Amino acid sequence: MEDLNIKEMQRFNGALSKSVTLEFSWHQLKTILQYKPEWRGKDYQEVDRFFPSSKLCSVCGYINEGLSLSDREWTCPECGTHHHRDKNASVNIKKEGIR
């Protein structure tokens, strides 16, 4: 799971900044995701929020520094793999958690 800074995210988003429920719900989800794997003898890992999960090619490891938040898809210039930003990020977060 990615270690997100919810308070900082709320500060930069006016609509969300008024929602205390969001922070509580996020904390509740995080708590559940921590203890459920333990019940089944599995590990829970957090990945640092600064890990470049969406900019890192999950195939060859190239980091695409030129991506902006509006770029939803990209093609790796090193290996030619086409990535959907969120799917690629989830693969990278899983790999980093296992590592």
Q: What is the residue type of 82?
A: H
Which tens digit of pLDDT belongs to each residue from 30-78?
Answer: 888 888 888 999 888 888 889 999 999 999 999 999 999 899 999 999 9
What's the CA gap between 90 and 1, in Å, rounded? 9
Instruction: Tell me the whole-structure pTM to 2 decimals.
Output: 0.67
Main-chain phi, psi angles of 80, to 5 degrees:
80, 5
Residue 57's nearest CA partner among 45, 69, 44, 73 is: 73
Residue whose pair of structure tokens reads 């969120």 in the numeric block: 86
Q: What is the C-alpha end-to-end distance of the chain, expressed in Å?
A: 13
